[in-house]
Amino acid sequence: MDYHEAADVLTGLQQRRPKLGVETTTRMLEHLDNPHASIDCVQIAGSNGKGSTARMLEQILDDAGLRVGLFTSPGLNDFREQIRVEGRTIAKEHVSEHVERLIPCLEMLRADDDEPTHFEALTAVALAHFGAMDVDIAVLEVGIGGRYDATSAVDPVASAVTSVSLEHTELLGETVDVIARDKAQVAPSEAPLITGTTGDALAAIREETNVITVGNRHDPESDIVATETGIPSPIESAVSIVGSEWAVETHLPLVGAHQATNAGVAAALARQVRDVPIEAIETGLRGATWPGRFELMSHNPRVVLDGSHNPGATATLGSLLDRYEYENLHVVFAAMQDKDHEAMVRSLPPISTAYATEPAVDRAETAETLAPILETNAKTVKTVQSVPEATEEAIETAGTESDDLVLVTGSLYAVAEARDRWTRLVVPVDQSSNISVSASTSTGTGWGWGWC
């Protein structure tokens, strides 16, 4: 089987909706001789922040000298990006090998009317690859929820729930309490669950399992205090993480108090899994870049890509944008059908021009549906059928000599399509050399975000 045939097998499953239960994934793993059985697995669940946290943990463990596998979703440009070992994307020939081994099982599952989803099959391929590559630790980002996610076919040695907000309510439940309880089922059997949740979500999780909490210095429930202590540049944070017998001071190439909390969760997981040295945590966090998360792609005009995909994430994004000075905000917005579009748009700052658009995925909401929602928070709304076209129009509207800001948000799928404008051209952007910062702490607002 060549790579294109293998890719067709996997992408042919992509139309299926997420479904509850781990039995199908378990059957595939059994067919592959349970490749995960000898691997220490870490599960990271959460409504927001789980991908960033997984990436931070990967880098910390790598800097500690461990061989690490990382499984995340979705891939920005290629599903192979979702599976990597020691920072390297799975090779095409390895995809072919693992899918070819899966084919008899897929045929058997189809005969039983139990065809797996794309995510389930990719989870099996990822674990097969990690087993073949003899990784020390596999870091697994949960897809949806926790209890019935495909990644829950493993027995984790450590787990985390980064945050909880209303999402996938048709699958997970109608309240934060119910969703939190579902996510809490990723808890390991022999260690506390690490969590950055607060309020009702934390209370619900405490009723399900033992926890170690990560929060800011104002939260009396925090076992580990994670704080954004400064802002060296608009795309970098200084963070402090303080545990009961350890502390870390470092920089993070991601911004916002929420990323400081994610860093605290990643650090706590690393110490729980292998008790890694403080130096590895410091250097690992400094190197933990993560595309599509408040990622600056251009200076003239300023273009930021952020994959916020639910109201909790866009609210955080809105607070983050309050730190920066800009003339007009031009937003390219796309979202999936199952999201609360009204709440997402409402949480963004006032928009000068909004571009309602849709990425090329079946679950995308139509631009025509999003346009009237965007009218509640934008002076002008335009409907553009493709994300690349909408991005180009927004950049043209902003101009190269203005202080305007272009933001692409609402979905990682939209971010992926917009990001291709720069990655396809392979033009590197020095994200710090032309930036001047007029504030040094995370409490300031109204920064000077100056471009030369």
Band the pLDDT of 445: cuts 50, 70, 90.
Answer: very low
Query: What is the percentage of the chain residues whose pLDDT exceeds 70?
Result: 92
Contact 337, 363 (CB under 8 A): yes
Angle at 54 between CA 349 and CA 86, to 5 degrees: 130
**pLDDT exceeds 70 at position 436:** no
Q: Please give the order of strands across the beta sheet that includes 68-71.
A: 88-89, 83-85, 68-71, 137-141, 40-45, 158-161, 193-195, 211-215, 224-233, 236-242, 247-252
Q: Which residue has the higher pLDDT, 390 or 443?
A: 390
And the tokens for 279? 């130096």
| pLDDT tens track for 244-274 | 999 999 999 999 999 999 999 999 999 999 9
**pLDDT exceeds 70 at position 427:** no
Contact 335, 411 (CB under 8 A): yes
Cα 181 to Cα 204: distance, rounded to the nearest angstrom: 6
Contact 186, 156 (CB under 8 A): yes
Q: What count of other Cβ atoms lies within 10 Å of the Cβ of residue 102?
A: 22
Query: Which domains, ranges and CATH numbers included, belong to the chain?
Result: 3-194+278-286 (3.40.1190.10), 295-451 (3.90.190.20)
pLDDT of 14 reads 63
**pLDDT exceeds 60 at position 428:** no
| pLDDT tens track for 83-133 | 999 999 999 999 999 999 999 999 999 999 899 999 999 999 999 999 999
For the four alpha carbons of 321, 326, 428 and 64, in that order, the dihedral sign comes to negative
Cα 262 to Cα 260: distance, rounded to the nearest angstrom: 5
| pLDDT tens track for 205-243 | 999 999 999 999 888 889 999 999 998 988 899 999 999
| pLDDT tens track for 378-419 | 999 999 999 999 999 999 999 987 899 999 999 999 999 999
What does pLDDT average to over the chain? 91
Cα 315 to Cα 50: distance, rounded to the nearest angstrom: 17
| pLDDT tens track for 161-207 | 999 988 887 788 889 999 999 999 999 999 999 999 999 999 999 99
**pLDDT exceeds 50 at position 432:** no
Query: Phi, psi at residue 188, to the nearest 5°?
Result: -70, 155
**pLDDT exceeds 60 at position 434:** no
Q: pTM value?
A: 0.89
And the tokens for 112? 């039983």
And the tokens for 228? 């954004």
Burial of 174 (0-12, 13-18, 19+ CB in 10 A): exposed
| pLDDT tens track for 38-97 | 999 999 999 999 999 999 999 999 999 999 999 999 888 889 999 999 999 999 999 999
Cα 101 to Cα 65: distance, rounded to the nearest angstrom: 31
Region 288-314: mean pLDDT is 92
Cα-only R_g, the chain:
21
Cα 209 to Cα 202: distance, rounded to the nearest angstrom: 10
pLDDT of 424 reads 77
Bridging pattern class, strands 68-71 and 83-85: antiparallel
Stretch (H or E) spanning 230: strand 224-233
pLDDT of 21 reads 87
Q: How many residues does the chain have?
A: 452
pLDDT of 221 reads 87
Nearest to 40 by CA among 139, 153, 129, 149: 139
pLDDT of 362 reads 86
**pLDDT exceeds 70 at position 16:** no
pLDDT of 20 reads 77
396-408 per-residue burial string, b: 16 or more CB within 10 A, e: under 16: ebbeeeeebbbbb
pLDDT of 77 reads 82
